[in-house]
Each structure stands twice: as C-alpha cells, then as structure tokens.
Amino acid sequence: MKILFLNGPNLNLLGQREPEIYGNTTLADIEGKVRERAAELKVEVDFRQSNVEGELVGWIQQAKGKFEAIVINAAAYTHTSIALRDAIAASGVPTIEIHLSNVHAREKFRHKSLIAPVCRGQITGFGQKSYILGLEAAIDVKDA
C-alpha cells in the first residue's frame, strides 16, 4: 500500500513557527516518525510539502492510480481552498484531513474546513501524533 502525505503552506517552518501552538518539532522530525511507523505497518509513504496551492492540486490529481490514500495537512488552505476540495473530490483517492493544533479551539476562521466534506474524516489537535493517527486511519480506510 502507498500513502501520500501532503503538507501545505508554512509547515516547512515547523520548529521555529509559533512553537507555543505547533511545538518544537520540525517537519523533517515528523516525517521521520511517520516513516518509522509506516515501516512497522509495512506500508510505503511519500511525504511532500508545498507553499503553492497549485502544486498541491497537481499532486492530488496525480495521486489517482498511484496511491491508495492521501493524508493531508492543508494548513491555511484548509480554510480557503475550493481548488483543493475539488481536486480531492475529483481524484476519488480516500483522503484523511489532519492538523497539529485543534482548529476548533482556535480562531473562528479556522473552524470551517472546505476540504472536510470530501475527506473520510478529520484528525485535529494531537500535535505530531495527528500524523501517526492519520497514517493508521489511511490504512483502515482501505480495509473499510
């Protein structure tokens, strides 16, 4: 099984960015933890980050037929991007939405996710563990 992890804007700054909200862990650290767990579960992962909405859209489009699930932290695009939502719907690849912080406990503009209705589910608020939970959910989605 191959799972595509996508990370949206500013997640390349994890570790330096608002550590009181996002912690001190870098995206590379998180990727390492995901790869460790993926090896235990015997699944393959591809892990990518982009600050560019169109690049994320392209990756979602190309996932069809290559990946059995997508785990996405769309970051701020979660709350703004109809393009990402349409790409997820069009690809038909089962997608899990994840967030480090609990978006529902933060500013009102973060309470709305435009991608949630086209995702299988949402994992939010568990810090870097959200990525591991996302990986496990992606594996379960395939068997569902």
Residues that bind ligand DQA (CB under 6 A): 10, 73, 75-76, 78, 99-101, 103, 110
Residue (22 or 67) nearer to ligand DQA, CB:
22
Q: Say if CB 127 and CB 100 are below 8 A apart.
A: yes
Q: How far is the CB of 76 from ligand DQA (least distance, A)?
A: 4
99 is known as an active-site residue = yes
79 is known as an active-site residue = no
Q: How far is the CB of 65 from ligand DQA (least distance, A)?
A: 27
| Phi and psi at residue 5, to the nearest 5° | -100, 125
Tokens of 112: 């709305």
Residue (63 or 75) nearer to ligand DQA, CB:
75
Q: How far is CA 79 from the centre of its chain?
A: 14
In 3-state terms, what secondary structure has residue 45? Answer: strand
Known catalytic residues? 22, 99
